[in-house]
Structure 1
Amino acid sequence: MLNERLRVICILGAISMGAILSSGCGPDFAPYWRVKKLRVLAIQADPVVLDGGEVAKLRALAHHAPDDSIDYAWEWCPFRVSTSDNYECPVTVEQLNAIIQQQAAKDGAEGSVPELPPDFFSLGSGKEVDFAYPATPEVINGFCEAILSAITDAAEDSPFADQLPVKNCEEGFDISIRLVATSSDDEIISRKRMKLSTGPKTPKNLNPDVTGVEIKLAKPAHFDQARAALPWVDALTQAEVDNPSAGWHPIAEDEPTPILAGIPFLVRSVVDPASVEIWTPPAPDGSDKTELDPEPEVFIFRWFVSDGDVDQASGLYVDDKNTLLDASETEFVVPYNASQSDYDGDGVSNGADNCAPLNNPDQRDSNGDGIGDACDIYIWSVVRDGRLGQDFIERQVRVVGW
């Protein structure tokens, strides 16, 4: 039985001590907001805290160059992993099997315990995969306790004591998800932490819920210029344009919203306020408390675009300090200067270029509408709650004039 196998694996803590102590959390993905080639911008686990018997949906927000594709390979690991080791699990399935058989021999059950399959850590391929809770909460809690005890003994009076993967097994057991995304000429290796519940005392957490992206003119002075070319702007009144809280237009999921180059727009991510949870933070070391007072989550917003410029690539929502909408807002513009005869430097003069603001020497126009494919720009919003939860959304705008 899988539960029995995982019970036996608990002795792995003492044997794999060096690997555990040398592997820590890698840095968060660098917040580079312009995405021109293969990138994995975020990974979501839903739910992010997995209960016994549940299945989590793992999905990636990734981007690749036009005419390319991405192959995905997902794995999980019952330990934290390190960026220095490309997020490889510190223990292989072969090592686990050797330990299982060794323990079975000591128990007088040699040959009676089946080996784990070679793909025990594999979760499959695809942009989305499923991950089922691998045992029972009781087994995972026992696994956690064994590791915690072994590391504590080995790390006593050493600087490694602060690198324990967990401090209280009742609060859940952290595992690592590894994703290898491969295109025709590149490879990106990413990781996502999630938590296995070990019982009723494990704190729950929902992902933020990003429901849309909205756009509006950044400056009322551009109203007349924009309304002549953009139907969604023409539908507005001067009063709506002048009002900072009005004039917002939802960017549709299935159709790019038209914009103009050379003038700034505001974009914001729309998050369901109900997804802001009240949680109880643990007290810092040295405190006479075990927990702090309950408080609303903090949300971290990050913006990425395939072209153009963003003014603020990140924002922070803190209750009583700002609102979700204000925290997510940033300015977006596609620069353009008509006085330069070949502004984008692609060898095609502005007058003949089907996307003069953006470099496109191939002048590709897949739908034949007279506007080059390069003028279709992706916008991504990624929202994290600081407790392993996150959500993301992808939208497009199209530069239709310059």
Structure 2
Amino acid sequence: MTRVLHVITGLEHGGAERQLALLLPHLHRPDAAHPPVTCEVVSLTRGGAVGAEIAATGVPVHELDMGGNRDLSALPRLVRLIRRGRYDVVHTHLYRACVYGRIAARLAGIGPGRPAPRIIATEHSLGDGHLEGRRTTRGVRALYLATERLGSLTVAVSPTVARRLHAWGVAPGRVAVVPNAVDAPAFAYDPARRAATRAALGIAPDEPVVGAVGRLVPTKRFDLLIEALARPALDAARLLVVGDGPQRDGLARLAAARGVEGRVILAGATADVAGALAAMDVFAAPSVQETFGLGVLEALAAGLPVLYTTCPALDDLPPGEAPGARRLPPAAGDDAPGDADRWSARLARLLASGARTRAAVPPAVARHAVAEQAARLARLYTGGPAGGQPGGADRPPSTREVIST
């Protein structure tokens, strides 16, 4: 039995947090696909809603109640926790947890040797010049690279992220690709769920709804969707945005300034993403900074037509694997008004072309089945290869291949 401690910055609703909660039950479920694994989780901050969900499944969740990035008192507490647990693997998630978790693991005696003990990090949020929605600085990059060398391996959630890690200076042999997972049956369309969610949000049964899911940060470009909603082509539609973040108040002010505040619903974070997707008619993802594009995959699993700008989960795949997804590149130059016009027109066409009938789950979603991704991680924990990755012909290349720039 391999004992794994997952170290994560926090456990409120977010993409990395949801991924961890999704994978844990499958890691605990040994079968022929992977060796037996037992996991515990430690949140550097307080546990949050996702932490409560994880604890309810029987997985121990520890909380360090860290006060901020510079709260160095958390480091010795984390070292003591790792020593007491006698873990075979420390697996870190998100920037702060990767920095503190790798240092603490080495101080606790966990080493980068193979097959175990091991220090593994998953890179969820490395964009092009951004990390977790914020611009990267030289200091952030230097600290990231310094602590990366303390670990055994970094898991990239897409080949795109692996290429970015390589460009940053992480040796290709220290990167493995294990894509994010999608539990497709959990997002299967349910008319009753649609009706209940719409009623709870104050949306009429026949109102056309453009939806989006994600953290409310500038790189997601949710302001572009509000600008598009203000165009005449979408004057009968509503915009449902699921997620929370620092841009929430700014988006509310923009909706009021454009005169569409009554048609914009900022629903906040929720554990019921499937219900929110059921309430939508079209899914919009205008972000130009993505590491994977989990929301797009979940929308496709729900049978929604998707309009997106950047989604490595699809862009790294062969053509034709997601017929319900249409890519709309950003306008050339700094043409924000032109972008809003284009998004408004394209979304209006999707709403008018029978978008309310749900499509079958495409092959792109099946490639990211949660049981398979959990098995890949479990094999990495014992020093083995992760297996195949999405993004090739019928027989995908190895996830351990060198990804060159």
Q: Same fold (TM over 0.5)?
A: no
TM category (shorter chain) comes to: under 0.3
| Structure with the largest fraction of helix | 2
Task: With the length of structure 2 as denominator, give the TM-score of the two structures.
Answer: 0.22
